[in-house]
Structures are given as C-alpha cells and as structure tokens.
Structure 1
C-alpha cells in the first residue's frame, strides 16, 4: 500500500477518533454512566469498568487508537487491527437493538443510520489490515529478485 493511499485511509478517521477520545477524558460521572449503559447494550463486559471511570477509560482508548492511526511509524496492519476491533464494537451497538434495522435485520432504519455509518470504519480497518499484511508481498518479491540478480552479476 503506497503512502498516499495509507494516509487517505488513516488521517481522517484518526483525527476524528482522536478528537472524540480527548473529549471523553475526565467527563462527569453521570455522563460516563450514560455512555457505559449504552455501550453495554452491545458489549456487556464494559459493565465491569467502574461507571465513574468508564468515560475516561474509553477516552484514553480512543485517543490511543486515533494517535496510532495518525502516527506514520505504526504499521498499517497494526492500525487496521485496532480500527477493525473498535468498529466491530461500535457495530455491536447497531445490531443489539432491533429498532436500528429494517425488518431484514441488516439495512439501517432511520434510527440506526448514525450507527450504521460506523461500517465505513470497519471497511477502512479491514483495508488497512489486509493491505498491511498482504499488500507488500509483490513488491518484496521483486526487490528480492533484483537484489539476487545484482549479487549474481
């Protein structure tokens, strides 16, 4: 995956997630509990985090993910794995409430449209992950052949 493609997939989601995370750090306990209750509809394990600290924990997690997406030294596969996991968590909120989807259980209803848009983050995460794991193979083979040919001449 070339630099411009990688940057296009990482910069905007990274900045958005970083900003979202910073906004949650140190949030009031009642707001933190509200977000935790909502998150628990899709990921019940978040109830194990003390409710007054949930917003800050989520905020630092989002800040770390946003920073990883923005940091050019973090490999695409690692940034993509983090974004994929994060977006799966967000989409679990979408699928946890039947009111978010049409009767087919997939297409978004008017209520679920804002959460369904997180599917774009899943696509970006998977693109970075797969591109990072398998995208450089052809280039590496060509480089190895060229190096071997140069060595043998």
Structure 2
C-alpha cells in the first residue's frame, strides 16, 4: 500500500470506526431519532425497529472502519464499502431540503455537518480508481 492510500484509509477508517463504536448500545429513543433522520434519505430503514437500526448502523460503521484500517483488504473493496455508506449519507443530505440552500446543492447551516460526506465519496472514488499494488516476490 502506498503512503497516499494509507493516509486516505487511515484517517477515514479511524473516523468511521470511532463513530460506529460511539453508537454501540445507543438508547432506543436516540436510535429512533437517528433512524427518523436517516429515513429522509433511505426510506427502507423505516421498516426496522429502532434497536435493530442502531445495531445495523453501528456494526456497519465498525466494519467499514475496520476494513479501511486493515491493510489486507484491497483499496477497491474498502473504497466500495465506504462509497456505499457515503452514498446513503449523501442521499439524506440531498433529499432533505433543510440541509441545502435554495439551489439544492450548497449546504445550509444545518447541512454543513452532513455535506462533509462528499469528502468520503471522493476518497472512496480515489481508492477504487487506484492501481493495485504489485506483489513483490
């Protein structure tokens, strides 16, 4: 793994892993609030119970963060996992009118925190597009 990919994977992996660990054991009321917000972008999550959603979200983040940090997981696999997660977050951003200004693209004050997920999408694309490392004998 080259240094630039290691930096991309290390920083984003640690961030996502920490976020997932912080959500483990989330109280039902908090999970219901996060689930309601997530459903603005991914309506299918409404079908889950809040506790199931909380486990799904936290385990997904822990798994994606760990995949990014594990050097034996290819850049393409790790990038695809993070890209899928980022796509869900960006769906919430773009489908929630309160997150963007009137043009539907630039973040509103409320959307600034979620708009950072564009960086995760860009990092994902960079990892997927990177050339595989040649194995040395």
Bin for the TM-score computed over the shorter chain? over 0.9
1:103-140 residue CA offsets vs partner (Å, 9 max, x unmatched): 22111122211111110000001110111xxx249x79
What corresponds to 1:27 in structure 2?
26
Greater fraction helix? 1
The yes-or-no answer on 1:15 pairing with 2:5 is no
TM-score (norm 1): 0.83
SS in 2 for 1:65: helix
Contact 1:29 1:53 in 2 (8 A): no
Count residues with an aligned counterpart: 136
SS in 1 for 2:106: coil
Contact 1:100 1:108 in 2 (8 A): yes
1:36-92 residue CA offsets vs partner (Å, 9 max, x unmatched): 111101000111222122112210110000000000000000000001111010111
User: CA RMSD for the aligned pairs?
Assistant: 1.8
Contact 1:30 1:52 in 2 (8 A): no
The yes-or-no answer on 1:91 pairing with 2:97 is no
1:18-52 residue CA offsets vs partner (Å, 9 max, x unmatched): 01101111211111111111110100011122212
Query: Following TM superposition, by how much is the alpha carbon of 1:99 offset from its aligned partner in structure 2, in angstroms?
Result: 2.1
The yes-or-no answer on 1:82 pairing with 2:78 is no
TM-score (norm 2): 0.92
Task: Name whichever of 58-67 and 25-34 sits farther off.
Answer: 25-34
Task: Find runs of 4+ consecutive structure 1 residues off by over 4 angstroms.
Answer: none
Greater C-alpha radius of gyration: 1
